[in-house]
Copies of this chain bind each other. A is one copy, B any other.
């Protein structure tokens, strides 16, 4: 059990002072030696290193953080870690952050603005040095202007905020996806979109509209498999029925395929389906899912580079991955 009622400061842990005593020097010297200062050399340095090895000493990062005013931790805020897309971006962030000596805190907010705000405040209290937003919005109460360079948006652009953003060109990618269907001969191409009032939703709708022309209404989902299934069910009631559907993410595409099959349709013969993201499951659906691959690990790496090195985040490249869920209509 953590935090017993009686707190024993320093609970027996080795401190720098102990190392100093063992090595017969002062704490300043130990501190310098550990920081790799060239001012500590030879025998002194070796004695200190020996003491560290012997005791298994590790510097207290909390004390160090207080003194240095930096924690070497990053906070990632995202809607849900259960979505493989986000999970893989987090992997990329972790890798890059870890390589730079930074740790990663994950806040899975379930879309709750209150929870987002609470977590984001960690940034203001010294617990983390930087914030990666995968939520598509600024946590309430956070003054991003004053936090310049400490906040980066990933995947979703945040409107009205002048934030460095790591993303792909979603409109162009959606256009490419739909053009793939058009090239196969499809003309009635429906769209299962993300939630209304979401930037990605708008961008992908724009790409779809640009390709299909006209004013057909998309069906809105919420990026879950269940919502894709429901959306597809409603599309199947349309007449004439679409011959193809472009889904704003892979999970909704997986739901859509299930709905189509449950309605007795064959994919891709009766209905072609294309997704977005290329999560690992996309290659294992039946039929395997044609989709747009987003470079998720690179998203993470670019976000960390933006935070730690100030690199302006690039617009990354996406790829159309052609699998068996799309084919010529009525084949």
Contacts and interface: CB of A to CB of B under 8 A. Distances in A.
Interface of A: 1-3, 7-11, 13, 56, 58-63, 65-66, 68-71, 73, 80-82, 84, 87-88, 90-91, 94, 98, 103-108, 115, 119, 121-122, 124-127, 129-130, 141, 149-150, 225, 229, 254-255, 257-258, 261, 280-281, 283-286, 307-310
A62 B309 contact: no
Max chain B C-beta neighbours (<10 A), residue from A81, A107, A261, A283: A81
B71 A62 contact: yes
Contacts of A3: 70, 129, 308
Copies of this protein in the complex: 2
Contact of A68 (B7, B115, B283): B7
Contacts of A106: 90, 94, 104-106
A124 B13 contact: yes
B280 A56 contact: no
A87 B125 CA distance: 27
B71 A1 contact: no
A2 B126 contact: no
Contact of A1 (B7, B105, B284, B307): B307
A225 B284 contact: yes
A3 B255 CA distance: 45
Given A13-B124, A70-B7, A149 B2 contact: yes
Contact of A308 (B1, B10, B108): B1
A105 B2 CA distance: 16
A91 B141 CA distance: 25
A121 to B, nearest CB: 5
Contact of A56 (B60, B141, B225): B141
Contacts of A126: 60-63
A281 B94 contact: no
Given A81-B91, A94-B107, 19 more contacts: A1-B149, A2-B308, A7-B68, A61-B125, A62-B125, A73-B105, A81-B81, A81-B94, A82-B84, A82-B87, A82-B280, A84-B87, A105-B105, A105-B106, A225-B280, A225-B283, A254-B281, A258-B284, A285-B286
Max chain B C-beta neighbours (<10 A), residue from A104, A141, A308: A104
Contacts of A127: 61-62, 73, 103
A265 to B, nearest CB: 13
Contacts of A119: 103
A323 to B, nearest CB: 12
A258 B125 CA distance: 49
Contacts of A105: 73, 103-106
16 contacts: A1-B310, A2-B129, A58-B121, A59-B125, A61-B126, A62-B127, A82-B88, A82-B91, A90-B106, A94-B108, A104-B106, A105-B105, A225-B284, A255-B284, A258-B284, A281-B281
Contacts of A130: 2
